[in-house]
Amino acid sequence: MASSAITAGSEPVFHLEEEHAHAEGGSTMLGFWLYLMSDCLIFAMLFAAYGVLGGNYAAGPAPKDLFDLGLVAVNTTMLLLSSITYGFAMLTMDKGRVGATQAWLVVTILFGLAFLSIELYEFAHMIHEGATPQRSAFLSSFFTLVGTHGLHVTFGIVWMVTLMVQVARHGLIEANRRRLMCLSMFWHFLDVVWIGVFTFVYLMGMLR
Amino acid sequence: MSAHDHADRDHTHGGAAHGSLRGYLIGFVLSVILTAIPFWMVMTGAMDNKQAAAIIIMAFAVVQIVVHMVFFLHMTPASEGGWSMLALIFTVILVVIVLSGSLWVMYHLNANMMPGLHEMREMP
């Protein structure tokens, strides 16, 4: 059997003789998507921890005593608005309009900062009332989950500022378009995680 | 070779399409509706049955996540030659195992450990 494969004295070749050329950055989007999926697993762990520990108040404050759904609704609106304005930035980027792209990025950053400010105000208010992360397992897991999401938003804003500088210096070149597309995925992904946060942590917490 | 290169580049652009203004607006309006209804339900206490309310809220969340995936993240079964979708399906399976497994195991652990708690209280 083996001898039949080796015919006419030449070794059989089971691989391409030369690797075909890849366009530069052609696999970046898939690679970044895989990163987002691994990030998704981090959040899954934190959600699982919150799901297990979320009912252990240690005779401390419960969600009903702490959460202000009106504030969370405003927060959710800020993040959703920042998502759509980033979408507008991508649309103007497609048309090659640098000024409009930068302007939409600024609007997105402002909404992102509004989200962070409201979240920090909420955290400060809770800590002021004695609901610190050390108070109970519920609060430890709450601050870890929501705080991790907030950190992601923070770094997303830092990344956005960096890209605005890049676009200002080099314009909407191919590399910058690719980077903006990666950040687009990151930003929309954070909004997807927030859907989980406001549903499982805030809304279900109030139902408990 | 260069023709192949060109085709490759075109393909990646097609896979990572940024959608249209219409797509973003549809996604946004759907998200607002899908966010507003659960908030309204919980804030006004429209549902007496808390378990049913929780299930409905979770259903809204799942639908909204799909809306975001389609209209904002532009996921299609064909993007990146299907690898994005494959990675997503794999991740969703892992997430479901982690979440349901943790909750199930720890619920039973808690239920079985409860008598111990009472004994602890009666200790001197």
- pLDDT at residue B18, rounded to an integer: 64
- pLDDT at residue B41, rounded to an integer: 92
What would the mean pLDDT of B47-62 be, rounded to a whole number? 91
Which of residues A25 and A136 earns the better pLDDT score? A136
For the stretch A18-28, pLDDT in tens is: 767 767 777 89
Any residues with CB less than 8 A from the CB of A72 and at least 6 apart, and which? Answer: A122, A198, A202, B39
**CA separation for the pair A11, B1 (Å, rounded):** 26
* 0.90 exceeded by pTM: no
Contact A168, A29 (CB under 8 A): no
- pLDDT at residue A2, rounded to an integer: 47
Contact residues, chain A, for B77 at CB < 8 Å: none
Residues 28-47 in A contacting B (C-alpha not used; CB under 8 Å): 29-30, 33-34, 37, 40-41, 44-45, 47
Contact B87, A33 (CB under 8 A): yes
Q: What is the mean pLDDT of chain B?
A: 81
Query: Among B54, B61, B88, whose Cβ lies nearest the Cβ of A37?
Result: B88
For the stretch B12-34, pLDDT in tens is: 443 345 678 999 999 999 999 99
- pLDDT at residue B16, rounded to an integer: 45
User: Among positive and negative, which fits the CA dihedral A78, A84, A90, A91?
Assistant: negative
ipTM (interface predicted TM): 0.85
- pLDDT at residue A187, rounded to an integer: 97
What would the mean pLDDT of A107-128 be, rounded to a whole number? 96
- pLDDT at residue B121, rounded to an integer: 54
What would the mean pLDDT of B38-65 be, rounded to a whole number? 92
Poorest-pLDDT segment among A117-131, A173-187, B102-116: B102-116
pLDDT > 90 in chain A, percent: 83
